[in-house]
Amino acid sequence: MLAGEEFGRLFEAFKRTAFRLETLDEYDVEEEREEIARFLAGEDMGSEWHDNPWVRSMTDKGKKVSRVHVLRSPLTDYLRFELSAYPGNIKAGESIGIIDLAEQQVSSLPDHDFWLFDDRNVYRMHYTPEGKFLGGELLSSDRLAEYQGYRDVALTHAVPFAAYWERHH
């Protein structure tokens, strides 16, 4: 499994497309803890909140970054934080959709996160029960079609983030 800087290099190495399926209600990311506390306290989130530099580092090179977040409302504090940051990701060029399982059932998706890079490499994401990232596991090429199918189902059923947020924010 890849973690840390090794996993981070995947975002520099892909050439065209990176797709993520997100499924957790809570992610335990040490680097986000201070930011979450500021968000929950209603403080200013700073300029990076409004135009995500990490996303822009990829999209400025012509790479396409997209995700679908599968969740269930009502939103946890963490999901309110994460979804509130999505407009800055979108401004930076990421395409984001939402599948709210309280509004529609989509049974043909996995119960875990993954990244699909360049339609060639699939990394299944592994987390602790509390949402701490353990690493990304490169799946064998014979699983590629399965995960491309998951991506296609997710994109077909996802509501564009702006439409979802307008209804729920």
Domain containing residue 58: CATH number: 3.30.870.10
Torsions phi, psi for 124 (to 5 deg): -80, 130
Of 43, 36, 50, 46, the closest CA to residue 85 belongs to 50
- Per-residue pLDDT band for 47 (boundaries 50, 70, 90) equals confident
In angstroms, the Cα distances linking 76 to 27, 57, 73, 129, 163 are 11, 29, 8, 16, 19
Q: State yes or no: pLDDT of 18 exceeds 90.
A: yes
State pLDDT tens for residues 56-107. Answer: 999 999 999 999 999 999 999 999 999 999 999 999 999 999 999 999 999 8
Number of compact structural domains in the chain: 1
pTM of the model: 0.95
Could you tell me the two tokens for 45? 């989130």
- Per-residue pLDDT band for 169 (boundaries 50, 70, 90) equals confident
Share of the chain above pLDDT 70, in %: 100
Arithmetic mean of pLDDT over the chain: 95
pLDDT value at residue 168: 87
pLDDT value at residue 48: 83
* Mean pLDDT (whole number) for 120-137: 97
What is the extent of the structural domain holding 32?
Answer: 4-168
Q: How far apart are CA 70 and CA 72, in angstroms?
A: 7
